[in-house]
Amino acid sequence: MGTDRMGKDVLTSIVIGTPQTIQIGIVAGGIGILLGVILGFTAGFFGGIVDYIIKFIVDVFQSIPPLVVLIIFAISIPGDMTILQLSLIVGVTSWLGPTRVLRSQVLVMKELNYVSLSRFSGLPSWKIIFMEILPNLLPYVMANFVMTVAGAILASIGIEALGLGAFSSNSLGMTIYWNIWYSSMLQGWWWWWSPPILIIILVFISLYLISQGLDEWANPRLKTKF
């Protein structure tokens, strides 16, 4: 596959960089889904004023583009960023989607007969959440996790392409950053810029198919083609 402007082998940097990108996505997605589960469950289950506050916070952050929050975070980190720091800041900004979806799912679950029953029989709330609601929502949480990972990968590539990424890493976003830096598409170095884009598209298609499969597992009636 040839070498890039700095003389690095393109194939090698893709082979090393793709796992790094996916790792950023998984760590960030994990943080996002964890925050989402905590906030979404709290809001949906307890309702009332707690729900109102959490919903308001979600509304506020809905109006601030995640990329903007990421930029503020990234310029606040002194010195060079590491991959872990990048994953952390992306994770902290990707809790919106999961929180919204899980909140509405919990609201639906709460009204179901067996949950109401366990409530009337005097089970403590934490028990209801962990023994009744969480196990039944697990497939949704998983499917949501996959989509959050996809979003996190997208966000991390965006922030890296802006030149605010982890310069020590070889991740796909950094490869794209260097391509923009040297405007390689104006030099016709197609063998340098096409592999990262292709891999990103492939990663996305795979994540989409995985989340579709999880959705069908969660809800067998969904069996649609696309």
Partner 1 sequence: MNIVYYIRRIFLFIIVIITAISLNFFLPRWTGQDPVQQKIVQLEIESGGGGGEKSELIESYRKKFGLDKSLADQYLTYVFSTLKLDFGYSISLYPSKVGDLIGRALPWTLGLLTVSTLISFLVGSLVGAYLTWSRGKIILESIIPILFVFSAIPFYLLGLVLIWLFAFELSWFPLFGGYRPTTIPDNSLKFFFEILEHSILPAFSIILAQSGFWALGMRSMMVTTKGEDYMTLAEAKGLNSKRIFFNYGVRNAILPQVTALALSLSHIISGAILVEIVFSYPGIGSLLYQGIKAFDYFIIQGVVFILVISIAFSMLLIDLIYPLIDPRVKISNL
Give me the residues that bind partner 1 (CB under 8 A), please: 56, 59-69, 71-73, 75-78, 150, 154, 157-158, 161-164, 176, 179-180, 183, 185-186, 188, 190, 193-194, 197, 200-201, 204-205, 208, 225-226
CB nearer partner 1, residue 106 or residue 207: 207
CB nearer partner 1, residue 68 or residue 131: 68
For the bound state, the minimum distance from the C-beta of residue 120 to partner 1, rounded and expressed in Å, comes to 28
Rounded CA gap, 150 and 24, in Å? 10
Contacts with 53 (C-beta within 8 Å, 6 or more apart), sequence order: none
For the bound state, the minimum distance from the C-beta of residue 118 to partner 1, rounded and expressed in Å, comes to 29
CB nearer partner 1, residue 38 or residue 162: 162
For the bound state, the minimum distance from the C-beta of residue 47 to partner 1, rounded and expressed in Å, comes to 15
Quote the tokens at residue 59: 């509304």
Distances (CA, A) of 53 to 47, 49, 103, 181, 225: 10, 6, 13, 43, 39
For the bound state, the minimum distance from the C-beta of residue 56 to partner 1, rounded and expressed in Å, comes to 7
CB nearer partner 1, residue 72 or residue 138: 72
For the bound state, the minimum distance from the C-beta of residue 81 to partner 1, rounded and expressed in Å, comes to 12
Whether the Cβ atoms of residue 96 and residue 181 lie closer than 8 Å to each other: no
Distances (CA, A) of 12 to 3, 153, 199: 9, 20, 13
Half-sphere exposure of 10 (CA within 13 A, CB side): 18
4: closest CA among 211, 199, 191, 177? 191
CB nearer partner 1, residue 15 or residue 64: 64
